[in-house]
Amino acid sequence: MGNNFGTLFRISTWGESHGGSVGVVIDGCPPGLSLIEEDIQVELDRRRPGQSDITTPRNEPDRVEILSGVYDGLTLGTPIAMNVRNKDARSSAYSEMKLAYRPSHADFTYDAKYGRRMAEGGGRSSARETIGRVAAGAVARKILKEAANIEIVAFVESIQDIRIPESVIDIDRESVEATAVRCPHPETAKAMIERIKQVRSEGDSIGGTIGCNVVGLPAGLGEPVFDRLEADLAKAMLSLPATKGFEVGSGFSGTSLRGSEHNDIFENRDGQIRTRTNQAGGVLGGISSGESLWFRTAFKPTATILREQETVTSSGEPTTLIGKGRHDACVLPRAVPIVEAMTALVLVDHWMRNAAQNDTFKFGK
């Protein structure tokens, strides 16, 4: 259970690392959208391993195949299934993992829950699982872009204590993609890359935060009271591997302010009702306000490290384990397109939900 996401633009994902394939099916995609495999591939390429010298050197092509739902280059309104074959990679790198639980991985909890697991590569708990999300998210992004020119831009905001200056506000896809670390501020990016390389050389790992801005969103999206826009975004982010926190707008730091400092004053700007500041982060009462949506997600340091760690076997015997294989010392650069994908999925779904209730029957309008 728990492998589907969304209410109207609904996705179901499948696949284990080192299994046959990973994929996704979208149910509810609007018909008539132009869609080719390259639309998907461009986002998968941003996620794939081996894309730069600070990511894992594993080099997987991750080629997507659209299995259904598209005809003559246009979506049909029927389910769009997309599949990515895993390379045959049943290396011996994982043989110890069948016995020993990797610290801060999900080996133990999968065993506790299901009574079994695919040990190789983490199976379903591997970050390869996110391929399906990115593929579906690419479709959602295209809808938002073509229907309403909405831009979703995520970026690496901090790695450990290295943080992009608050003064940096011009963040777009080009500036993000300009560096291997996907931080749009070149000097900060440089420091981050150095840190990643240094930590990797020590066989260790690090984490950080990813920021995300959405520009162009209309007011009115989000369903009070449980399916607030920020609630569904929080769920989307915390559903990603290695995430430990989420904040929208002023977030945790806003708790130090007083109401008189924190409140966003309404004003009439060029005939539109806008707020002078945006501590809210673009949502009021769970509904988008028409201001930019902005939020932040915390990623823990990668659990796999190339150092010896104590642990126990599945039968509880003490043992030690050294991470092998080729891993990211810092997952954040590759997580940027994943954050964007999940954001797009939430937004399209909420757009459709809002329209269903408020635009279908137009009483008193």
φ and ψ at residue 228, rounded to 5 degrees? -55, 150
DSSP state of 185: S
Closest separation between CB of residue 174 and a second copy, Å?
26
Least distance to a second copy, CB of residue 17, Å: 10
Q: Is 141 a residue that touches a second copy (CB under 8 A)?
A: no
CB 92 to a second copy: min, Å: 17
Site for a second copy in 334-363 (CB under 8 A): 351-363
In sequence order, what are the beta bridge partners of 295?
Answer: 212, 248
In Å, how far are 43, 231, 355 from 33, measured between CA atoms?
17, 28, 18
Contacting a second copy within 236-275 (CB under 8 A): 236-239, 241, 243-252, 254-268, 271-273, 275
Handedness of CA 34, 221, 288, 79 (dihedral sign): negative
Q: Using CB under 8 A, which of 44, 64, 101, 136 touches a second copy?
A: 101
Nearer to a second copy, 184 or 281 (CB): 281
Exposure on the CB side of residue 164, measured as CA atoms within 13 A: 24
Residue from 40, 134, 143, 212 binding a second copy (CB under 8 A)? 143
216 binds a second copy (CB under 8 A): no
- Closest separation in Å from C-beta 283 to a second copy: 8
What SS3 class is residue 208?
strand
- Interaction pattern, residues 296-335, with a second copy; x per rule: CB under 8 A: --xxxxxxxx-x-xxxx---xxx-----------------
Tell me the C-alpha distance between 175 and 192, whole Å: 15
Pair of tokens at residue 203: 């066989």
Between residues 64 and 172, which has the closer beta carbon with respect to a second copy?
Answer: 64
Tokens representing residue 222 in the block: 């989000």
By CB under 8 A, residue 115 contacts a second copy: yes
Smallest Cα–Cα separation from 84: which of 28, 135, 140?
A: 135
Given the complex with a second copy, which of 15 and 333 has the nearer CB atom?
Answer: 15
Residue 279 CB, nearest distance to a second copy (Å)? 8
Q: Which residue in 114, 169, 170, 174 binds a second copy (CB under 8 A)?
A: 114
Interface residues for a second copy in 14-33 (CB under 8 A)? 14-16, 19-23, 25, 27-33
In the list 156, 206, 217, 347, the residue contacting a second copy (rule: CB under 8 A) is: 206
Would you say 170 or 252 has its CB closer to a second copy? 252
- 95 token code pair: 């043989």
- The minimum distance between CB 59 and a second copy, in angstroms, equals 23
Phi/psi of residue 7, nearest 5 degrees: -105, -50
Q: Of residues 162-191, which lie at the interface with a second copy (CB under 8 A)?
A: none
Q: Find the binding residues for a second copy in span 58-87 (CB under 8 A).
A: 65-69, 71, 74-81, 83
For a second copy, the binding residue among 45, 191, 204, 324 (CB under 8 A) is 204
Task: Report residue 242 as tokens.
Answer: 């290695």
Among 48, 54, 175, 223, binds a second copy (CB under 8 A): 223
**Count of CB atoms within 10 A of residue 276's CB?**
10
Query: Which of 170/260 has CB closer to a second copy?
Result: 260
Cα–Cα distance, 3 to 12 (Å, whole number):
6
Please, are residues 9 and 65 in contact by the beta-carbon 8 Å criterion? no
Give the integer Cα–Cα distance in Å for 277 and 245: 24
Rounded to whole angstroms, what are the CA distances from 234 to 54, 220, 283, 297? Answer: 28, 18, 13, 9
Distance, in Å, from the CA atom of 24 to the CA atom of 128, rounded to the nearest integer, reads 12
- Of residues 120 through 139, those in contact with a second copy by CB under 8 A are 123-125, 129
Least distance CB 317 / a second copy (angstroms) = 7
Q: For a second copy, which residue of 48, 288, 293, 294 counts as binding (CB under 8 A)?
A: 288
Cis peptide before 225 (omega within 30 of 0): yes
